[in-house]
Amino acid sequence: MYFQDWYLTEEQRMMRDTARRYVDNVVIPFIEGDRTREWKMDPLDRLAPHILEQADAAGLRALGVPDRFGGISLDSATQSQTLAIIATELARGDSGLADKLVQNWKIAVLLAEFATEELQEHWFTRYMAEPQFLMAHCLTEPHGASDRWLPYNVPEINMDTKAVLEGDEWVINGRKQFISNGYDASLYVVYANTNNEVGMQKGTSSFLVPRETPGLEVTHCNETIGGRFMNNGEIVFDNCRVPADHLLVRDDALGKAGIYFRPGKILVAAKSLGIGVGAYEDTVSFVHERVQGGKVLIKHQAVALRIADMATRLEAVAALLRHAALAVDQRSPDADALCNMVKVFASHEIVLVCQHAMELHGGYGAMLEVGIEKYMRDALINLHSDGTTDVSNFKIVRAMFPETAGNYAGKD
């Protein structure tokens, strides 16, 4: 089921097995021990410290961090595939936790590519020393979020967040919303407009901004229906000053961020797959144990048909995920289309898998203490993670038919 051994290198198999042991021995007992914990209204009181400490001990926080800082560098030829395998395993335990770690992996790869050696030395050293250290990627804004994801390359929809160079400092003003890890991150990669005369693709820069920087304020934790062990946040920048060398990419930040965005779509799909696998495995156990009508549920044809449907959907998602991850790693011309396709396909198919899981559990499927309803809540989040389904479909069409696809925006 999903990632079979014959698809994996020896290193990938070892990483997968490490993640699987961590989920089985640490994450699942934590989740099952208190089903109400994710609903605590103090975001910092939800995830017990030992969860990230044990992830650190297993090496699962170190992915993407260069070897010279004690991390685990990933082979660029298999990077997306490897991350997808591990993210799937983590999401089988909890998708919010998977997202917490996924954000760190992606940003580590981004910093290794674009940050100065001095910045890498400082931040990777601190990151490796602090198991609770999280990083966040600040792109989305309260206004025009889908504009940023498509993106529309016209000045009218430039970032509302602005950065101006004053002497040897950049001054950042604006607001970011729906930021994964945004509420409790220690380090932010922030996107801001630096040239208002050109389209967003040519006028957006990225900056490294530490949490303790004056003028940066985390104002709100966005309470979501699923993925609640990742604290999504809102951040305000009010004359936030960072040194000039904290500029990562000048003006072409969105173009250079393909190193972050393409694997991001793959990882959303991997998290969806992991949720589906968890729902499937729990349901298979249930239908082999629960007796209805004088025999175990799996012996009823209607139940067997649903189990077969769930398994088929999971295999289809896994197959497209492998194909898309390989395309991204090989920088194939169809990578943009495929990584959006698998994100959309996985998010929709896994919702259907979770629907089957809930219905096969009967009334138990909706009960908090059983845990099946959590899979559905977590799956629904991925319909709009890293862009909505419709925006992703626009990007698929644009990638396939660049000469004829519509602009989808502009003056009437």
On the question of pLDDT at 409 being above 80, the answer is no
Band the pLDDT of 152: cuts 50, 70, 90: low
Clarify whether residues 246 and 262 are in a common domain.
no
**How far apart are the C-alpha atoms of 238 and 258, rounded to whole Å?**
28
pTM here is 0.94
pLDDT of residue 43: 94
Residue 339 near residue 324 (C-beta atoms within 8 A): yes
Query: Residue 410 falls within a domain, yes or no?
Result: no
User: Which residue's structure tokens are 């050293």?
Assistant: 125
Clarify whether residues 244 and 263 are in a common domain.
no
Band the pLDDT of 154: cuts 50, 70, 90: low
% of the chain at pLDDT higher than 70? 94
Look at the chain and report how many structural domains it folds into. 3
On the question of pLDDT at 145 being above 70, the answer is no
Query: Residue 125 falls within a domain, yes or no?
Result: yes
Parent domain of 310: 256-400
Give me the torsion for CA of 3, 95, 140, 165, rounded to 10°: -90
Query: Residue 379 falls within a domain, yes or no?
Result: yes
Clarify whether residues 364 and 351 are in a common domain.
yes
Give the helix/strand (H/E) hosting 353: helix 335-360
**Chain centroid, CA 247 distance in Å:** 24
CA 145 → CA 6, 103, 116, 187, 245, distances in Å? 40, 19, 30, 22, 28
**How far apart are the C-alpha atoms of 217 and 95, rounded to whole Å?**
27
Last residue of a domain, one of 217, 251, 285: 251
On the question of pLDDT at 195 being above 60, the answer is yes
Residue 176 near residue 190 (C-beta atoms within 8 A): yes
CATH of the domain at 339: 1.20.140.10
Query: Residue 405 falls within a domain, yes or no?
Result: no
Clarify whether residues 58 and 190 are in a common domain.
no
Last residue of a domain, one of 228, 251, 274: 251
CATH of the domain at 95: 1.10.540.10
Radius of gyration of the chain (CA): 21
Clarify whether residues 179 and 295 are in a common domain.
no
Query: Residue 296 falls within a domain, yes or no?
Result: yes
On the question of pLDDT at 34 being above 80, the answer is yes
**How confident is the prediction for the chain on average, in pLDDT?**
92
163 three-class SS: strand
Band the pLDDT of 3: cuts 50, 70, 90: low
**How far apart are the C-alpha atoms of 63 and 110, rounded to whole Å?**
12
Residue 137 near residue 198 (C-beta atoms within 8 A): no
Query: Residue 406 falls within a domain, yes or no?
Result: no
Query: Residue 169 falls within a domain, yes or no?
Result: yes
Clarify whether residues 146 and 236 are in a common domain.
yes
Clarify whether residues 122 and 143 are in a common domain.
no
Last residue of a domain, one of 114, 129, 144: 129
Clarify whether residues 263 and 396 are in a common domain.
yes
Give the helix/strand (H/E) hosting 127: helix 117-129
Clarify whether residues 272 and 395 are in a common domain.
yes
Query: Residue 356 falls within a domain, yes or no?
Result: yes
CATH of the domain at 167: 2.40.110.10
| Half-sphere exposure of residue 65: CA atoms within 13 angstroms, side-chain side | 26
**How far apart are the C-alpha atoms of 169 and 176, rounded to whole Å?**
21
pLDDT in tens, 46-73: 999 999 999 999 999 999 999 999 999 8
On the question of pLDDT at 412 being above 60, the answer is no
**Chain centroid, CA 371 distance in Å:** 22
More confident residue, 276 or 409: 276
